Amino acid sequence: MFRRFIPMMIVGAFLQSGCVAHTQSQPMVEGRLFDNQGHAVPDANIILQSNGTAVSTVSDQDGFFSFPAEYEWSFFLPIGPIDKMNRTELLIQVLGQQYAILLASVMSGPFGSGPAEIGVVCTLPATLPTPKQANDESDICQQMSLNAVKAFRPFP
């Protein structure tokens, strides 16, 4: 009987030492989309991919789009380093063109996550970038506070 008791005690100790965390799996993202002349781009399909999940929305008449924050519960055993990569990407599809923008890419522990909220204003280029330039589209978007996104005007 004692031989069965010790392994059960070890398993029980491991299970009781587990931790539960409620972390943000997707940041809140708000943004605006403009063309190269400063006009709002309505009806653009915008996809937010964060930590493996993807959600989409469509920009409104003023070029605004938003994604709410999402959270997840996770259980883990603290038996060593527990790091995860939090990556948030924006994919914009409009008028047959597609643009991929990396918004955030950070390492965090089990209780951390990437940025809680991201504000972004994107200005689409006049011409489609060549295939060599297509991988670096980070210059079409500027990150800023959520209040600055709402008040942003492309040209004075």
CATH superfamily of 26-70+78-151: Immunoglobulins (2.60.40.10)
- Of 90 and 11, more confident: 90
pLDDT of residue 65: 95
Residue 154: its pLDDT value, please? Answer: 73
pLDDT (tens digit per residue) in 87-138: 889 999 988 889 999 888 877 766 666 678 889 999 988 765 554 444 455 5
Query: Has this prediction a pTM greater than 0.85?
Result: no
Residues 6+ apart with CB under 8 A from 110: 19, 21, 23, 74, 76, 78, 82, 84
The CA distances from residue 111 to 21, 28, 68, 88, 117, in Å, are 6, 18, 20, 17, 17
| Number of residues written out for the chain | 156
- What's the mean pLDDT in 34-41? 90
Domain residue ranges of the chain, discontinuous segments joined by +: 26-70+78-151
Asked whether the beta carbons of 149 and 120 are under 8 A apart, the reply is yes
